[in-house]
A and B are shown apart, each in its own frame.
Chain A
Amino acid sequence: MTIYNLYIFDKFGTLLHYAEWNRTKSSGITSEEEYKLTYGMLYSIKSFVSKISPHDPREGFLYYKTNRYALHYLETPSGLKFVLNTDTAVINVKELLQQLYAKVWVEYVVRDPLWTPGTVVTSELFQSKLDEFVKQSPIYGIRNI
């Protein structure tokens, strides 16, 4: 079980924060392009899910899995999007993302007087707390080699 990387987007698609832990492959494009591609993909998935869903969706898209990784998605009512890539064996990632929002994002970014909404988060305190939070989570685990 492991965590690869995390993207945080705001409702306009601006990347607010990116962090990675055990990522072993880069996407082969510049990071700017990668963020845009990720956001674009999520945007498409969201509209895809709402169209193909047989019932009216409430939360909509939750996660997808490939044979190598799983992408978990949490969107807050304010349009903030947390995207976490993990391996495929993990469970309860939704709770982890909710905690990340409540305990790390709200505490160290929303309450940061120097942060203007819609801009990249540069706070070192947030980065270290995020790193600590992820590394302490049971999902992070020990990497199998």
Chain B
Amino acid sequence: MIIYGVYIVSKSGGLIFNLDNNVPRIEHERVFTYPLELVLDYDAKKVSVSFNRKDGINVGHVLVGVNGIAVNGGTLDDGRDVKATLEAAENYPINLKFTRPKMTTNEKIFLASMFYQLYAMACQLSPEPKSSGIESLEADTFTLHCFQTLTGVKFIVISETGLNGMDLLLRKIYELYSDYVLKNPFYSLEMPIRCELFDNKLQELLTQVEKTGISNIDK
């Protein structure tokens, strides 16, 4: 059982909590000869692949290493410019290391509010009356489960595909939320959750679920 992440979205669509759990690190290292088959996009903050794929390196992957030297934004750690290095034929063959970019906090906030809207649209486009919003969303690489409480807080769990009983886990997370967040006198509603006890209990729960399965959670 792999759980990739937990998100809590407040009733107004803001991300108030997120936990990355077990996010796989996808790295591909390969030796390239001149000219470079991949088309790269040189941004001020990162160098990413904009076209072509090779041995698992896909569009969107970010360059993190050149010949074992880490890449920092548009420059190498030893001060050389990445673009100039990759365009000079005498540097080849060259060893490049790419990774799938990790989501930044800003992107997570963006995605959380995006999901909030998708949820509302799914309600409106329903062919049957009295439909809720998205409760589970399946893609080929993961499944998303969402539980909305009566007060409009959404709990979202991203996990691997083909798992049962995720609603039980979501309700358990809700229980932890009401016990350790709502009862915390220093927590104000709609604000980001910073409660150490909640973090610990949630991590404990996820570890237990990953080891022994959902059916063994005590109710």
Interface residues of A (CB under 8 A from B): 4-5, 20, 22-25, 27-29, 34, 37-38, 40-41, 44-45, 48-49, 51-69, 71, 85, 87
For B137, the closest partner residue in chain A by CB is A64
How near does chain A come to B151, taking the closest CB pair, in angstroms?
A: 18
| Cα–Cα, bound, A128→B158 (Å) | 41
For A34, the closest partner residue in chain B by CB is B125
Contact status of A65 and B134, CB under 8 A, knowing A27-B125, A34-B125? yes
| Chain A residues positioned under 8 Å from B78 (CB to CB) | none
Given contact pairs A60-B140, A68-B128, enumerate 12 new A-B contacts (beta carbons under 8 Å): A23-B128, A27-B125, A38-B125, A44-B114, A52-B144, A55-B141, A61-B139, A62-B138, A65-B134, A65-B136, A66-B126, A87-B128
How near does chain A come to B76, taking the closest CB pair, in angstroms?
A: 26
| Chain A residues positioned under 8 Å from B107 (CB to CB) | 51
How near does chain B come to A75, taking the closest CB pair, in angstroms?
A: 12
Q: Is the CB of B114 within 8 A of A23?
A: no
- Can you list 16 A-B contacts (CB < 8 A)? A23-B127, A24-B128, A34-B125, A45-B118, A52-B144, A55-B141, A56-B26, A56-B58, A58-B140, A59-B139, A64-B134, A64-B137, A68-B126, A68-B129, A68-B130, A69-B131
Interface residues of B (CB under 8 A from A): 4-5, 23-24, 26, 56, 58, 100, 103, 107, 111, 114-115, 117-118, 121-142, 144, 158
For B20, the closest partner residue in chain A by CB is A54
| Chain A residues positioned under 8 Å from B140 (CB to CB) | 57-60, 62
